[in-house]
Structure 1
Amino acid sequence: MNNNILLESGTGELEILEFVINNKHYAINIIKVKEVINSTNLTKLPDSHPAIAGLTLYRDKIITLIDLKYVLEKQHKNEVEAKIILCEFNKIEVAFSIDNIVGVHRIKWEKITKPDDISVNSLVIGNIVLNNKIILLLDFEKIVTDISPSTGISEDKIVDIAYKDRSSVKLVLADDSPLIRKLLKDTLIKAGFNNLLIFDDGKQVLDYLLNLVGQKKEKFIEDVNVLITDIEMPQMDGHTLTRKIKEHSILKKLPVILFSSLITGDLKHKGNAVGADAQLSKPEIGQLVTCIDGFTTPK
């Protein structure tokens, strides 16, 4: 699977892979997809989570296979042979069984609307209208974290970070996932930060920053010291947000940390291309605190 179709970063576009489960249409950001395969080699696991179909072999690697039909419909797939989307994010490789692949589409983030259901339990992060049908963009990180909480971020992952009063540091956070926003807020507060301004998409952040610059010019930095942003967000993604900030004559001095499940060795060049000051994968919550300290501690 060629997940580098978009050679330029910060274009405001993404490639989605559309697929079907139980006659409903869903999508995944193709940047997460390593390959689509057919597999008959499945080993069942005893006493495992009901959403785990078992283990499958991929190029001599043992990969956990998640039954998406069970996750979404609470029905198990009956077929022995499964069509599988093999993914990598949050520094793990995981596979998802589906019914069928429809195709790949290039769309703009601004065309993805936020779902009405903004509860923490929602598995949908965006709605896409394409070819007279609604395609649901799924939160694959939440799906995996719900099954195995240790793969995501949590307060437990900053146990080695010494608490100190960091209340003078003013942070702006952007993430479209209600679950991640809550976990991020909880963990940063536990580390001593309490001056947090939180948004759920990149456009909101850019509008806020431009308004701040309009009022305070270079002194905007008094109100925000560091921006921490996800990459995948409806309306405006983190790469585009970062590029717009770094191309702005005044805003460019704002340190931007990309904090995303998409930060991998193969994809870091996309963040470098738009001028991100740091890039961390979402499980690295302890490193995030250290990184913020590096930008805000007087030299």
Structure 2
Amino acid sequence: MNNREETFGINVFKVREVMRIPAITRAPEMPASVEGMVSLRGALVPVIDLAKYIGIETDCKPGIMIVTEYNGHTQGFLVRAVDNILRLDWASMRVPPAMLVAEMGGLVTAITELQDNRLVMMIDVEKVLSETTNFDSDALIIKSVQPLGKERTVFFADDSSVARHQIARTLDAMQVKHISAINGRQAWVELAKMADCAEAAHTPLKDMVQVILTDVEMPEMDGYMLTRKIKADKRFTGIPVLMHSSLSSSSNQQLGKAVGVDEYVPKFEPQKLAQTLAKLLG
């Protein structure tokens, strides 16, 4: 979506279709950026105007609707135009500067530069959905999560502030200690430090952390590369890796298994996440 010479991006794997904007039915008591609902093949889909959500004032009306599917939720995003579909390596993505994070309220999770020198800001769609729909309405489900009853620690990595909050809430309900990182590279740096400390103390690393949980899509180092590094380092022997992602298709799960992931849980199912963690934590 372009405006004020700004370009935003979302992962094409989460895009179901791109279409002209159909008739939108207005609904009462919705956030200002939610235009209403549309009927797609018999299903009611909420429609979000991304420019309004981001706070961009423009005279240009949106002309395209991008239909996306995240964690079993379908929604439409209104944008001015779709420029291009590009294949980009997550290693080429960079963590956005602190000033941009503050200005955008955590909406941008990664940034990269195109060949024409334009900067593309990757949108945290989970954050958009949590603030405009009932995507984050898992409080009652999390309340039903039972305490583990054992002292355990989980290290998790996710670039989405919403996802990190959801994971932390689940672990808190389980009464499990946790350490977090905002991307794969930061996670690897912190985990390597922990491994060095354990080695210096002649203590198995698995006594310090019992499960590593990772997202797939993260700037600078994705979950696949992080898992490869963990599985290639003997110091992490006995520590299972749980992949937790909105990319939950069988092909994505197979990619995870190929790099050594022990379990794969789709976002965001707190009860299933808690059950899987309980099994891995023993």
Q: Which category of TM-score, normalised to the shorter sequence, fits these structures?
A: 0.7 to 0.9
2:83 counterpart SS class: strand
1:68 lines up with 2:50 in the alignment: yes
- After TM superposition, the structure 1 = structure 2 runs for residues 109-124 of structure 1, keeping only pairs within 5 Å, are 109-115=90-96, 116=98, 117-118=100-101, 121-124=105-108
> What is the CA–CA distance in structure 2 between the aligned matches of 1:226 and 1:51, rounded to whole Å?
39
SS in 1 for 2:279: helix
Give the structure 1 partner of residue 32 of structure 2. 50
**Partners of 2:195 and 2:182 in 1: CA distance:** 21
Distance 1:209 1:48 in 2: 43
- Matching of residue 286 in structure 1 with residue 274 in structure 2: no
Task: Specify the code of the residue in structure 1 equivalent to 2:49.
Answer: D
Q: What SS is found at the alignment partner of 2:86?
A: strand
Give the structure, 1 or 2, with the largest relative contact order (CA under 8 Å, sep 6 or more). Answer: 1
Q: Are 1:185 and 2:168 an aligned pair?
A: yes
- 2:255 counterpart residue number: 270
Q: If each structure's strand is expressed as a fraction of its own residues, which one has the higher value?
A: 1
Match of 2:230 among 245, 249, 254: 245
Q: How many residue pairs were aligned? A: 275
- In structure 1, runs of 5+ residues without a counterpart are 1-18
Which of 79, 96, 116 in structure 2 is aligned with 1:98? Answer: 79
Q: CA deviation at 1:196?
A: 1.5
Q: Any conservation in 2 of the 1:21–1:98 contact (CA below 8 Å)?
A: no
CA distance in 1, matches of 2:138, 2:39: 30
Q: Where does the alignment leave 5 or more consecutive residues of structure 2 unmatched?
A: none
**1:1-299 matched pairs, under 5 angstroms:** 19-21=1-3, 23-73=5-55, 75=57, 79=61, 82-115=63-96, 116=98, 117-118=100-101, 121-130=105-114, 131-148=116-133, 150-152=134-136, 154-166=138-150, 168-193=151-176, 195-214=177-196, 216=198, 219-251=204-236, 253-265=238-250, 267-297=252-282
Measured at CA, do residues 186 and 59 of structure 1 come closer, stay the same or move farther in structure 2, by a change above 3 Å?
closer
Q: Is the 1:155–1:183 Cα contact (8 Å) retained in structure 2? A: no
For normalisation by structure 1, the TM-score amounts to 0.81
Cα separation, 2, equivalents of 1:23 and 1:57: 32
Measured against aligned partners, the alpha-carbon deviations of 1:171-210 in whole angstroms (never above 9, x if no partner) come to: 11111123332342233123211x2221111112223334
For 1:44 and 1:283, the matched residues in 2 are separated by: 28
Is this contact kept in 2: 1:70–1:76, CA < 8 A?
no
Q: Which amino acid aligns with 1:242?
A: T
Deviation of 1:226 (Å): 0.2
By how many angstroms is 1:123 displaced? 0.8
* Aligned partners of 1:141 and 1:261 also within 8 Å: no
The sequence identity of aligned pairs, in percent, is 24
Q: Which whole-Å deviations, capped at 9, do the CAs of 1:32-58 have from their partners, x for residues lacking one?
A: 111111133322223322211122233
Residues 129 and 76 of structure 1: is their aligned pair in 2 closer, same or farther, counting only changes over 3 Å? closer
Q: SS at 1:232's partner residue?
A: coil
